[in-house]
Structure 1
Amino acid sequence: MTKEEIVGQIITAVGGADNINNAWHCMTRLRFDLKDAQKVDYSALEKTPKVVGTKFQSNQLQVVIGTDVADYYGPLASKLGLDEKSQQTSTEKKGAISLFMDTVSGVFGPIVPAIAGAGMIKGLMAGLVALNVISNQTDTYLVIDMIASGVFTFLPFFVAASAARIFKTNQYLAIAIAATLQFPTMTNAVAEGSISAFRLFGVLPVPIFNYAGTVIPIIFAVLALSYIYRWVDKILPQVLRTVFTPTISLFLAGLVTLTIIGPISIHLGNLLADGVAGLFTISPVLAGIVVGAIRPIAIFTGLHHAMTPIALQNFANQGYDMLMPMMFMANMAITGATAAIYFKVKTKEEKSIVLSSAVSGILGITEPALFGILSKYKKAFLAATIGSSIASAFISFFGVRIYGYILSSIFSLPAYIGEYFIFAILGIIIAIASSFAITYFLVPKQEDQDDYTNEIDLHAVTKGTYIPLDNVPDEVFSTKLMGEGYAIQSETGTVFSPVTGEVTSVFPSKHAIGIKTMNGAEVLVHMGIDTVSLDGKGFDVFVKSGDHVTAQTKLAQMDLDYIKNQGKETMVIVLVTNMERVQQFSGVTNLEGDHQAGTVLEKVILNA
């Protein structure tokens, strides 16, 4: 059953859309303000898939879904025509660059295995060709290249599917937009080069561009689709939505992508290329500094394709090129920064991904490193940028150049043999060493605790009195519908992390924080009971999504007096929510009575 169908059943069970004044969600529950609470069919609600419990309290119907409640609020808001702001799970205000990188990182997270595997194959084959072990004209090479290059050629399809999940829109419509960009009509027109644009309705120009392997156009296209889909769904009568919402959304999003989003992205790349060409007329060293600095972000955004024509034109006009050696230095700097992360992560899975990404990087395929690793570690991305800039400036000063087009990998070194060879070698060393050292210095090492074991310690999150979950005055917690754990009545209001892990979500009302440990336990810290209605008042949160935390990390400060004056409970509830992973809970101390923050209260053994 789809999320939309489940939400439809919930709406019916609560008395229909006409019975709902408003709906929102907290960390685990859908909450409804109803016109007539007598119309609720509790039996039907509790039989609905994903609904683990219900409760009516404070004139609100609470439907307990779990920590993935936001995935169900989106379709609910769409059906009811509500504002979806409460889907957001983080309170921090991010800058545009940080938000962009976090978004791209989120989009590429699920794709990393595909691009890492394909990148490794592609890099190895390029190396074998460079060493003349195999010819790129043989059938063997062509077959293996299809396996390796398919992911990169049709990268917009992968990005579309993943971006749809991030932007909470229909995956298949998103893939349809990607298919539009790479439909043979477009790709054939690019190859023929006879026209520059199609004319829609004989008037509107649709520029012809090659979108193969691009990233930014499809991300923004799917973002636009998400807004268009919600707008169309909102204005159409419900009886027409099933057929006409996807039809109109695809048509409008496709037009916007072909006429605005796609062309703007390509033109930005061309503008970057023109700027780089201009720098060389001023000073090759200045060009090295700037090109080295922008190359990693250019690859990250897909704008790097615009630099290739400059290099090819240099070969035609001068017989040599100084831009491609800078690209080489950037790849090596990206590799160095990625290699340093190997010594910062602790799990075998993470180390494996980092290692394969670094190997792909040194073989000339940097997408796995950039999208899978450096987008998550922004200081490492900065280190790669600095290392690339330093090394590119160095080789530019000594006039390092290349006399033929070749992939920028370690296997391309033979092409540099000659008077500039030693400087190319020194440039590689500078690129790798500087980016590695800066990353190693800037990026903190993950804690050792819980990394390779199936056990975690649940620490007391605050100084106060232990309360068994059975005694918590909220049956969603007391009946353990949401998971196992403990509660503690805080004396100070200072709340620390119960585990070592990464913050996965901070609820907008600041009353709940989600944390995931290195070995996969999902832990919820819920401050107070029914405190979502306070809308953040009474809470100061000191962490954000993506932060690494330990039992010594201060998560939040509760204003106990304010919360009590609002008639709310101030106990802090700590739950392990993915109980399917839990083999055993056991207390490690005499749990009754008072405890200091940081005291280990319970040990959780996870399934291997």
Structure 2
Amino acid sequence: MSESNKEKIVQHIIDHLGGKQNIDNAWHCMTRLRFEINDDSLINTKEIQGIPEVMGVQNQNNQLQIIIGTDVESYYEILTSKLGSEKTESSPSKDKKEKKSLVTMFMDIVSGVFGPIVPAIAGAGMIKGLIAGFVALNWISDESQTIQVLDMLASGVFTFLPFFIAASAAKIFKTNQYLAIAIAASMQYPTMTDAAEAGNIDAFHVFGFIPIPVFNYAGNVIPIIFAVFVLSYVQRWVDNILPKAFRTVFTPTFSLFIGGLIAFTIIGPIGIYLGEGLADVIAWLFEFSPIVAGIVVGTIRPVAILTGLHHAMTPIALQNFADQGYDMLMPMMFMANMAIAGATLAMYRKAKSANEKSVIVSSSISAFLGITEPALFGVLTKYKRGLLAATIGSALASAFISAFGVRIYGYILSSIFSLPAYIGDYFIFAILGILIAVAAAYLVALFFARANNQLDETENNNGSTNEDLAAVATGIYVPIDQVEDKAFASKSIGDGYAIKPEKQEVLSPVSGEIINIFPTKHAIGIKTNSGLEVLIHMGIDTVSLEGKPFNLLADVGDTVNVKTQIATMDLEQIEHHQKDTTIMVVVTNMDRVEALPVAKKQAYQAGEKIGDILTSRK
């Protein structure tokens, strides 16, 4: 695709995220553009999903993810040029961090650290897999110089993995990359590495009394992530207390000295013990029951990929390689990918258009090659029973290979091309596991698809339905294309109407269930019985008021009708802050709407019927 077309796509994404001003931060991983958004109610998910190059969109843990695929880097470069460096490649803002849970923050860090370095790890892992296959087939002697050179190419990444982790983590924690790499280098300096291998001393002593425990940090990931995290605070602290004239020389000096000592004495050992603890938990699960371990990991893997939580398995697998020399989690990741491919392929029979069938075939092939996002976001989130089938296939296959102890001896992409890495004692079980994963997921998905088709036929017989649409407040009716908010006026978020309120009472414009409330209280989402998703947006640019003018009288999960008051808004306070009080009411999934009512007058009372929305069951 030409750069000009990619530029148009990126601009289209920015526009339907509510514009540049609505994007607080943006970065990317291996397949996804990731965003922090100021006002989620301005996001037009439907329009973004309609872009052919977009494989899926999800809002997970206060983070909007747009799945592009392996070409994401080229789109990100264009995005950077449009947004500016101040909004890209940065960690979440302080205010955003305070709103996140520790789990969310941890996952953001893990995905941010490992995303950029996955290509290096995957490439080196694939070479390791080929080496294992060549040696097992006796094509090349394991003592040959060819193997030695290939092993250098493959093992270099894993031996010096802390260097890669340090550089990537420095971007996340906003500290100097070269100081971070210096910390990693000191932890892997031959003096430390040789002492750990010799095993003749337990610790060095600085100034005769500060103990530096001896560990081999080669291939470890958790200690260096923590060390760079601490370094980021040390550097800022040093920079703040030093006079400006001394900072150039003494900030890096004191940062390296203090940060390095903390890494050696506290952070490094804690990271080692934590990594070993995680590995021990996984090992205990396998010792307790390999089959149970396979079922647990196989079941959570597809959903983990869907939510972005799969990155949490990467440091555990790498820790297993460092501690045990092998890992049993990655073969299960392999099985999950194969199950996703099988379930996706089964959806071919359910597809109705040639374009949809083409998407399914290409997504399935991509999953066989180790990239599952197109299948998950482009196909299985649409056919949710297919996702359940993939989960079943993944659990069954993972339980099977785990029962026979299938393992891998180096990090490798979970692709059909990684099979050579399994040549040896476990090869036949890996092959059988693939067959189980693909066949089980495919057959279960076919069964679910048939059941779903019967349900669809029953629903289609019911035809179209009507939904009452009422005035959200007492005031003057305003056509949606005439409001002073371009995102709403362009109907990019959805179609509907607006009212300039004269009273503070806000009523539900439809009957249904409240499904979400924006943290700043200015936007409420309601889902009707027929599946319409209706957004009530109180005021224009009122997100900056932090909810102060709004008093909510309903909560998520509450059932409401057109006579239910859901909120009050302090019109005087909003106007005092020079904000527009207009309330917008839009249907965000317009694909379910056949016709919207036309207002018959200018002024309405709150709860007064405007007309009927003609909906269709899709």
TM-score (norm 2): 0.49
Distance 1:422 1:141, change over 3 A: closer
The CA deviation at 1:217 is 1.8
Question: Where in structure 2 are there 5+ consecutive unaligned residues?
Answer: 1-20, 26-79, 302-309, 348-355, 413-417, 449-470, 488-494, 501-505, 510-516, 524-536, 553-564, 585-601, 603-609, 614-618
Question: Given the alignment of the two structures, is residue 300 of structure 1 paired with residue 313 of structure 2, yes or no?
Answer: yes
Name the counterpart of 2:105: 99
Match of 2:574 among 560, 566, 583: 566
Name the counterpart of 1:415: 424
Name the counterpart of 1:164: 170
1:26-50 per-position Cα deviation (integer Å, ceiling 9, x unaligned): 85799xxxxxxxxxxxxxxxxxxxx
Farther-moved stretch of structure 1 (179-188 vs 405-414): 405-414
Name the counterpart of 1:265: 271
The CA deviation at 1:133 is 1.9
Distance 1:29 1:305, change over 3 A: closer
Number of corresponding residues: 429
Within a 5 Å distance, the mapping from 1:21-40 to structure 2 comes to 27=22
SS in 1 for 2:208: coil
1:53-110 per-position Cα deviation (integer Å, ceiling 9, x unaligned): xxxxxxxxxxxx99968938999xxxxxxx962365x95x43x444322321122222
Question: Given the alignment of the two structures, is residue 71 of structure 1 paired with residue 93 of structure 2, yes or no?
Answer: no
Following the alignment from structure 2 to structure 1, what is the Cα–Cα distance between the partners of residues 545 and 261?
43
Match of 1:124 among 116, 127, 130: 130
Distance 1:413 1:159, change over 3 A: closer
Match of 1:221 among 227, 241, 256: 227
Distance 1:509 1:257, change over 3 A: farther
CA contact (8 A) 2:242 2:251 kept: yes
Name the counterpart of 2:335: 333
SS in 2 for 1:226: helix
Following the alignment from structure 1 to structure 2, what is the Cα–Cα distance between the partners of residues 430 and 260?
46
Following the alignment from structure 2 to structure 1, what is the Cα–Cα distance between the partners of residues 178 and 442?
40
Question: Given the alignment of the two structures, is residue 210 of structure 1 paired with residue 216 of structure 2, yes or no?
Answer: yes
CA contact (8 A) 1:511 1:539 kept: no
Distance 1:301 1:433, change over 3 A: same
CA contact (8 A) 2:291 2:402 kept: yes
Query: Residue type of the partner of 1:566?
Result: I
Within a 5 Å distance, the mapping from 1:465-476 to structure 2 comes to 465=478
SS in 1 for 2:211: strand
SS in 1 for 2:569: helix
Following the alignment from structure 1 to structure 2, what is the Cα–Cα distance between the partners of residues 353 and 179?
41
Following the alignment from structure 1 to structure 2, what is the Cα–Cα distance between the partners of residues 150 and 193?
24
1:192-245 per-position Cα deviation (integer Å, ceiling 9, x unaligned): 333332222222222222222322222222222222233333333444444333
Query: Residue type of the partner of 2:573?
Result: N
CA contact (8 A) 2:343 2:387 kept: no
Following the alignment from structure 2 to structure 1, what is the Cα–Cα distance between the partners of residues 141 and 199?
29
Match of 1:252 among 248, 252, 258: 258
Query: Residue type of the partner of 2:419?
Result: I
SS in 2 for 1:566: helix
Query: Residue type of the partner of 2:221?
Result: V
Name the counterpart of 2:238: 232
CA contact (8 A) 1:329 1:427 kept: no
Sequence identity (%)? 46
Farther-moved stretch of structure 1 (427-436 vs 559-568): 427-436
Within a 5 Å distance, the mapping from 1:200-599 to structure 2 comes to 200-271=206-277, 286-290=289-293, 293=296, 300=313, 302-304=315-317, 326=328, 329-336=331-338, 339=341, 359=369, 394=400, 400=404, 410-411=419-420, 415-416=424-425, 426-427=432-433, 429-430=435-436, 465=478, 531=542, 533-537=544-548, 538=550, 561-562=569-570, 565-567=573-575, 568-570=579-581
Distance 1:558 1:272, change over 3 A: same
Distance 1:382 1:168, change over 3 A: farther
SS in 2 for 1:137: coil
Following the alignment from structure 1 to structure 2, what is the Cα–Cα distance between the partners of residues 353 and 250?
47
Distance 1:145 1:337, change over 3 A: farther
The CA deviation at 1:384 is 10
Question: Given the alignment of the two structures, is residue 183 of structure 1 paired with residue 198 of structure 2, yes or no?
Answer: no
CA contact (8 A) 1:293 1:388 kept: no
SS in 2 for 1:302: helix
Following the alignment from structure 1 to structure 2, what is the Cα–Cα distance between the partners of residues 123 and 404?
9
Query: Residue type of the partner of 2:334?
Result: M
SS in 1 for 2:138: coil
1:279-334 per-position Cα deviation (integer Å, ceiling 9, x unaligned): 78xxx56255348757988983534466569868xxxxxxxxxx97x557435335
Question: Given the alignment of the two structures, is residue 142 of structure 1 paired with residue 142 of structure 2, yes or no?
Answer: no
Distance 1:145 1:115, change over 3 A: same
CA contact (8 A) 2:166 2:184 kept: yes
Name the counterpart of 1:316: none
The CA deviation at 1:160 is 2.1
CA contact (8 A) 2:290 2:399 kept: yes
Following the alignment from structure 1 to structure 2, what is the Cα–Cα distance between the partners of residues 382 and 209?
44
Following the alignment from structure 2 to structure 1, what is the Cα–Cα distance between the partners of residues 273 and 127?
31
SS in 2 for 1:415: coil
CA contact (8 A) 1:527 1:572 kept: yes
Following the alignment from structure 2 to structure 1, what is the Cα–Cα distance between the partners of residues 198 and 581?
69
Following the alignment from structure 2 to structure 1, what is the Cα–Cα distance between the partners of residues 540 and 407?
70
Name the counterpart of 1:85: 94
Following the alignment from structure 1 to structure 2, what is the Cα–Cα distance between the partners of residues 117 and 441?
38
1:314-363 per-position Cα deviation (integer Å, ceiling 9, x unaligned): xxxxxxxxx97x5574353354367579889x9x99x9999788657xxx
The CA deviation at 1:468 is 8.8
CA contact (8 A) 2:317 2:330 kept: no
Query: Residue type of the partner of 2:546?
Result: D
Name the counterpart of 2:200: 194
1:497-547 per-position Cα deviation (integer Å, ceiling 9, x unaligned): xxxxxxxxx9986889xxxxxxxxxxxxx985664541244499xxxxxxx
Following the alignment from structure 1 to structure 2, what is the Cα–Cα distance between the partners of residues 244 and 385?
55
CA contact (8 A) 2:343 2:438 kept: no
Question: Where in structure 1 are there 5+ consecutive unaligned residues?
Answer: 1-25, 31-64, 76-82, 313-322, 361-367, 443-461, 478-485, 496-505, 513-525, 541-556, 574-593, 599-608
SS in 2 for 1:219: helix
Distance 1:124 1:385, change over 3 A: farther
CA contact (8 A) 2:408 2:422 kept: no
SS in 1 for 2:204: strand
The CA deviation at 1:161 is 2.1
1:403-458 per-position Cα deviation (integer Å, ceiling 9, x unaligned): 998999633655338xxx8766545545666789999999xxxxxxxxxxxxxxxx
Name the counterpart of 1:11: none
Following the alignment from structure 2 to structure 1, what is the Cα–Cα distance between the partners of residues 150 and 224?
27
Following the alignment from structure 2 to structure 1, what is the Cα–Cα distance between the partners of residues 546 and 257?
39
SS in 1 for 2:570: helix
Query: Residue type of the partner of 1:182?
Result: Q
The CA deviation at 1:169 is 2.4
Following the alignment from structure 2 to structure 1, what is the Cα–Cα distance between the partners of residues 227 and 128?
28
